[in-house]
Each structure stands twice: as structure tokens, then as C-alpha cells.
């Protein structure tokens, strides 16, 4: 079982993943980084030359490869776009929705050339995408972790939830 971090772009999944990895002494796998290394291309290059559908298939295969490992797994914000991923997450159980208020998310991603699903979107369009995804994050997550609190508090939320579940 992995500790999987899901949530919208800019929520802080990678930062939190690094902290958890240190605190729990488990390796961190970042699915986007894995796909980039595997393809020998950046995410924008994959989107541009092979298309989003190709990326989503690679993402599904990478998720399937890692989700049962004893690791911290950081996923891309669109991981819930492929319906095949839902059952993998539901079997894993230990999925945490990393989130914060939309204004913060938007300010972190606006115009980001490394994020093809954000780079050319304005506020309204990004908000529509966020709203279309939140129920799917919520459906597969154990709890929502709000990254407007300190990174330490976020780690504690996750660790306490895991401990209380082990004891219950």
C-alpha cells in the first residue's frame, strides 16, 4: 500500500511528498517525474507531440506499477481524468486529497509553461476545471489535507490519520 497524494495543480503534493518521505523514511515516487524520465521528454513535450490521451495512458500504467508499493506516491492533478484509475485508488485506500483555496492554487499555476493544462487558461476556465475535479478527488480520498496550514501540520494530519486507522 502506498500513501498516495492527489489533488489539483499547485496544491503542494510534491512538497508535502518530500516531507512525508523524510518523516516516514519511505521513498517518494513522483509519477510525473517517472513518466518524463521514462519517455525522455518533459510533460509539455509529451502533450504537444503525443497528446493528452497518450499521457493519460502512461499515467495509468505508472500508477498501476507503483500504487501497491510501500512508498509515498505523488500524482499529477489530472490523475482522476482516467476512470480506470479510480478502482486502483479505491483498493489502495490510503489516498490523501491535498488542497487549498482556489485563489492560491490559481496564483501558483497561472501561465506556468510546465503545466499544459494551466498555461493558456484564465481564472474562469481554471476554476471550471477545478470544480469539475473536486468531487472525484473527494470520492477517492481518505481525508482532505489543507495546505494553507504549515507543512508540519499537514504531515501530522496524514500520520495521525494512518495511526488512528491502524488502531481502529
Nearest in space to 142 (alpha carbons), one of 10, 15, 2: 2
Site string for ligand S3P, 43-62 (x = CB under 6 A): x-------------------
Per-residue cell: 92:
489502495
CA distance 4 to 112: 24
Interhelix angle 43-50/31-39, rounded to 10 degrees, is 60
Binding residue for ligand S3P, selected from 63, 92, 99, 115, defined by CB under 6 A:
115
State in angstroms the smallest separation of the CB of 144 from ligand S3P. 16
Binding residue for ligand S3P, selected from 5, 34, 63, 78, defined by CB under 6 A:
78
Q: Which is nearer to ligand S3P, 9 or 158 (CB)?
A: 9
CA distance 158 to 145: 8
Contact footprint for ligand S3P (CB under 6 A): 9, 32, 43, 76-78, 115-117
Amino acid at each position: 500500500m502506498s500513501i498516495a497524494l492527489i489533488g489539483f495543480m499547485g496544491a503542494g503534493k510534491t512538497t508535502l511528498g518530500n516531507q512525508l518521505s523524510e518523516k516516514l523514511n519511505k521513498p517518494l515516487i513522483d509519477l510525473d517525474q517517472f513518466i518524463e524520465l521514462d519517455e525522455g521528454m518533459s510533460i509539455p513535450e509529451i502533450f504537444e507531440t503525443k497528446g493528452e490521451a497518450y499521457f493519460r495512458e502512461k499515467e495509468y500504467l505508472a500508477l498501476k506499477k507503483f500504487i501497491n508499493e510501500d512508498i509515498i506516491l505523488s500524482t499529477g492533478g489530472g490523475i482522476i481524468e482516467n476512470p480506470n484509475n479510480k478502482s486502483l485508488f479505491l483498493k489502495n485506500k490510503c489516498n490523501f486529497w491535498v488542497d487549498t483555496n482556489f485563489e492560491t492554487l490559481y496564483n501558483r499555476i497561472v501561465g506556468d509553461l510546465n503545466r499544459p493544462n494551466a498555461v493558456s487558461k484564465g481564472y474562469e476556465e481554471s476554476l471550471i476545471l477545478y470544480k469539475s475535479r473536486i468531487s472525484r478527488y473527494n470520492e477517492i480520498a481518505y481525508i482532505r489535507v489543507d495546505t494553507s496550514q504549515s507543512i508540519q501540520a499537514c504531515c501530522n494530519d496524514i500520520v495521525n490519520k494512518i495511526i488512528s486507522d491502524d488502531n481502529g
